[in-house]
Amino acid sequence: MKEKVGATAFPLYWPAGWARSKARRPARFGDTNVYRETQNVRAELGRMNARGVVISTNLQLKADGVPYANQRMPADPGVSVWFKLRKQELEWVEHALACDRWDRAEHNLRAIAKHIEALRGQSRWGVGNALQAFAGYVALPEKAGGRAWSEVLGVEPGASVEEIKTAFRSKAKVSHPDMGGSAEDWHELERAYRFGTKQWGVPA
C-alpha cells in the first residue's frame, strides 16, 4: 500500500477513509458545466482565504489545468477537493472534501460548493466559526484506504472536545491491549484522539 504523497488533479485522488457511493443518480442542479462549477468551488474557498487548492477528478486536463471541453464523462465522475486553511498565524492545515453521489462531475462539484457555502454560513449564527465547521474535514496524513479519525472514534466530524474524549474513554475499554485489544487498534485509537482534539487546540 502506497503512502499518501499529495493530491493530484488527475486522476481522481480520493481521501482516505471516505466511503464511495454504491449507486449514482442524476442531480437537479440545472444546466451547468465543469468549468463553471470549478470556478464556484474556487470562489467559495477564496472566501475562506484557502490556499493550495487542488480539484481532483478523472477528467482529462489541458496543459493549463482546465478540463477539455465536450469530453466524455468518465465512468467514475467523483470529485475531491484539497485545500489548506490557516488555523493559527503560521500554521496551515490541509482539508479534503469529496462527493461522488451524482452521475456527472459538474454536479458533484456543485454539491461541494454548496456544502462549503453552508459550512461558512454557520459563522453567521454566532454558535461556532468556519474553522470549527471544517475541523472534521482535516486530511489525515495516513496511508490511502485508512480510516478518518472521526470514524475510528465513532463520532461526527464536527464533534466537540468533550464528545471526542467521551468516545475515546469508551473505545479504550476494549481497544487497550490490557483489556483484550490489539496494539494496532490501540495505536489507531490514540492517533485518532490526538488528531481529533488537536483541531480544537488541545496539545498533543
pLDDT (tens digit per residue) in 84-106: 888 766 678 888 899 999 999 99
Model-level pTM? 0.67
Q: Kindly state whether residues 169 and 189 are assigned to the same domain.
A: yes
Q: Is 187 or 111 the better-scoring residue by pLDDT? A: 111
Domain end marker among 92, 108, 137? 137
Q: Are 191 and 107 in a shared domain?
A: no
Distance separating alpha carbons of residues 6 and 144, to the nearest angstrom = 11
> Is 54 a domain residue?
yes
**Cell numbers standing for residue 24:** 449514482
Q: Are 46 and 3 in contact (CB under 8 A)?
A: no
Q: What tens digit of pLDDT does each residue of 104-146 get?
A: 999 999 999 999 998 888 777 766 666 666 766 766 554 444 5
Pick from 63, 85, 195, 100: which is nearest to 140 by CA? 195
100 lies in the same domain as 39: yes
Please report whether residue 77 resides in a domain. Answer: yes
What's the total number of domains in the chain? Answer: 2
Are residues 130 and 173 both part of a single domain? no
Residues 189 and 169 occupy one common structural domain: yes
Tell me if 118 is assigned to some domain: yes
Per-residue pLDDT averaged across 45-62, rounded? 92
pLDDT at 111: 96
Query: Are 124 and 178 contained in the same domain?
Result: no
- Structure-model confidence comparison of residues 178 and 25, the more confident one: 25
Question: Could you tell me if 158 and 90 lie in one domain?
Answer: no
Helix (H) or strand (E) holding 183: helix 183-198
Residue type, 17: G
Asked if residue 176 and residue 81 are part of one domain, the reply reads no
192 versus 76: the higher-pLDDT residue is 76
Task: Check which CATH number belongs to the domain holding 163 and give it.
Answer: 1.10.287.110
Asked if residues 149 and 159 have their Cβ atoms less than 8 Å apart, the reply is: no
- Please name the amino acid found at residue 133: A
Let me know whether 126 and 174 are in one domain. Answer: no
Average pLDDT, the chain: 82
Whole domain around residue 47: which residue ranges? 34-137
Instruction: Convert 51-104 into a string of H (helix), E (strand) and C (coil).
Output: EEEEEECCCCECCCCCECCCCCCCCCCCEEEEEEEEEECCEEEEEEEEECCECC
Q: 161-175 and 183-198 are packed helices; what angle lies between their axes, rounded to 10 degrees?
A: 170
Considering only 52-66, 168-182, 189-203, which range has the smallest mean pLDDT?
189-203
Q: Does residue 76 belong to any structural domain of this protein? A: yes
Is the same domain home to 185 and 93? no
Q: Where are the beta strands (DSSP E) in the chain?
A: 51-56, 79-88, 91-99
Reply yes or no on whether the pLDDT at 193 is more than 70: yes
